[in-house]
């Protein structure tokens, strides 16, 4: 079944209870297949408010754990899926996210923001060999490409690396960004390769990368051909092939060396004792 026939809605509702009439009208009028909600502001004990229609299943992930967290005021965050029972079968992976808020920094990315993108890539990788050819990411990414800051640049790089296509874009500052990725059998897949976190690389990582690159960048410059040609306007196809092959080898050596030496995620910091640890025995 073609993905274009699947109707998906992504909506930051900022409280399901507040938006109940609007959501009911939307479900009834649009007859959508999948509804992805962010900021539901619900917890486990009241997620039954998602039962807005008899023809929709729902699954909810609260933003807080009411058994572990001390609740003050309204609940925060929360995401939910609503699935039309009458929808035909599709082979598609749908990810619904509510990202950490933008820190508006020009250089520093919040670790939590990068962790979510890393989790999405891990999900892509774990499903790379499946029969699923379509990936959809819905949600509120809490940034805007017009800001040109650290989060927007990281998100843009994430899209390019994973061959994601932008489906919808708002000009407002409060941007809800949705993306879709389609894979075809003849398209190269990058899902098996993890992004390297260069900003988390230590001096030891960099030194190890240089040593590894020196080992892999072994070229016999005495082999003649293009390497012995002094003609700046050379049009020899064999020489062109030699140069292209050399460029490919350099790129692969850089990728291979970074894969072996540069971390794909930041080192986990030890937990710091806090309020939860003090009150847990009671």
Interval 200-216: pLDDT, tens? 788 999 999 999 998 88
- Structural domain of 232: 198-261
If one compares 162 and 192, the residue with the highest pLDDT of the two is 162
State the DSSP H helix or E strand holding residue 147, giving kind and residue range, or none if neither.
Answer: none
If one compares 118 and 224, the residue with the highest pLDDT of the two is 118
Q: Provide the pLDDT for residue 216.
A: 86
Is the pLDDT confidence value at 267 over 90? no
Same domain, 98 and 223: no
What is the C-alpha to C-alpha distance for residues 224 and 204, in angstroms, rounded to an integer? 37
Give the domain CATH number at 130.
Answer: 3.60.10.10
Same domain, 84 and 214: no
What is the C-alpha to C-alpha distance for residues 179 and 203, in angstroms, rounded to an integer? 36
Q: What are phi and psi of 182, to 5 degrees?
A: -115, 135
How confident is the model over 158-170, as pLDDT tens digits?
Answer: 888 888 877 765 5
Is the pLDDT confidence value at 178 over 60? no
Same domain, 123 and 165: yes
How confident is the model over 109-146, as pLDDT tens digits?
Answer: 888 898 899 888 888 888 877 777 788 888 888 888 88
Does a structural domain hold residue 177?
Answer: yes
From 182, 210, 232, the end of a domain falls on: 182
- Residue 38 binned pLDDT confidence (cut-offs 50, 70, 90): very high
Beta strands in 120-258 (DSSP E): 134-140, 165-168, 178-182
Same domain, 45 and 78: yes
Is the pLDDT confidence value at 3 over 80? no
Same domain, 73 and 115: yes
From 134, 154, 182, the end of a domain falls on: 182
Same domain, 90 and 216: no
Is the pLDDT confidence value at 184 over 80? no
Q: In what order do the strands lie in the sheet with 178-182?
A: 92-98, 134-140, 178-182, 165-168
Does a structural domain hold residue 267?
Answer: no
User: How many structural domains is the chain composed of?
Assistant: 2
How remote is the C-alpha of 5 from its chain's centroid? 24
Q: Provide the pLDDT for residue 219.
A: 63
Of 78, 10, 86, the closest CA to residue 54 belongs to: 86
**Residue 277, helix vs strand vs coil:** helix
Over residues 38-52, mean pLDDT: 91
The answer to whether residues 37 and 8 touch, using CB atoms and an 8 Å cutoff, is no
Does a structural domain hold residue 127?
Answer: yes
Same domain, 176 and 257: no
Does a structural domain hold residue 66?
Answer: yes
Does a structural domain hold residue 266?
Answer: no
Same domain, 177 and 58: yes
Same domain, 42 and 160: yes
Angle of helix 150-161 relative to helix 111-126, nearest 10 degrees?
10
Same domain, 20 and 113: yes
Over residues 95-104, mean pLDDT: 90
Does a structural domain hold residue 202?
Answer: yes
Q: In what order do the strands lie in the sheet with 56-61?
A: 8-12, 34-38, 79-84, 56-61
Handedness of CA 37, 41, 46, 52 (dihedral sign): negative
Same domain, 172 and 212: no
Same domain, 202 and 177: no
Does a structural domain hold residue 215?
Answer: yes
Does a structural domain hold residue 217?
Answer: yes
Task: Supply the mean pLDDT for the chain.
Answer: 78
């Amino acid at each position: 079944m073609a993905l274009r026939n699947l109707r998906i809605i992504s909506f930051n509702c900022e409280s399901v209870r507040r938006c109940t009439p609007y959501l009911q009208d939307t479900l009834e009028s649009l007859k959508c297949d999948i509804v992805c909600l962010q900021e539901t502001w619900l917890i486990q004990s009241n997620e039954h408010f998602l039962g807005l229609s008899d023809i929709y299943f729902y699954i909810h992930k609260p933003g807080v754990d009411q058994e572990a967290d001390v609740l003050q005021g309204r609940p925060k965050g929360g995401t939910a899926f609503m699935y039309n029972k009458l929808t035909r079968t599709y082979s598609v992976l749908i990810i619904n996210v509510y990202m950490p808020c933008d820190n508006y920094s020009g250089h520093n990315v919040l670790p939590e923001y990068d962790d979510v993108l890393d989790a999405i890539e891990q999900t892509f990788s774990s499903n790379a060999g499946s029969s699923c050819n379509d990936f959809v990411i819905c949600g509120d990414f809490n940034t805007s490409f017009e800001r040109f800051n650290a989060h927007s640049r990281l998100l843009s790089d994430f899209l390019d690396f994973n061959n994601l296509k932008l489906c919808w874009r708002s000009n407002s500052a409060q941007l809800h960004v949705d993306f879709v990725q389609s894979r075809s059998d003849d398209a190269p897949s990058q899902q098996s390769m993890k992004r390297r976190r260069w900003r988390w690389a230590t001096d030891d990582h960099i030194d190890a990368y240089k040593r590894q690159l020196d080992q892999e960048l072994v070229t016999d410059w005495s082999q003649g051909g293009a390497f012995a040609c002094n003609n700046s306007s050379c049009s020899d196809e064999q020489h062109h092939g030699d140069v292209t092959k050399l460029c490919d080898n350099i790129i692969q050596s850089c990728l291979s060396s970074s894969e072996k030496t540069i971390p794909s995620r930041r080192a986990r910091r030890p937990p710091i004792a806090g309020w939860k640890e003090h009150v847990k025995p009671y």
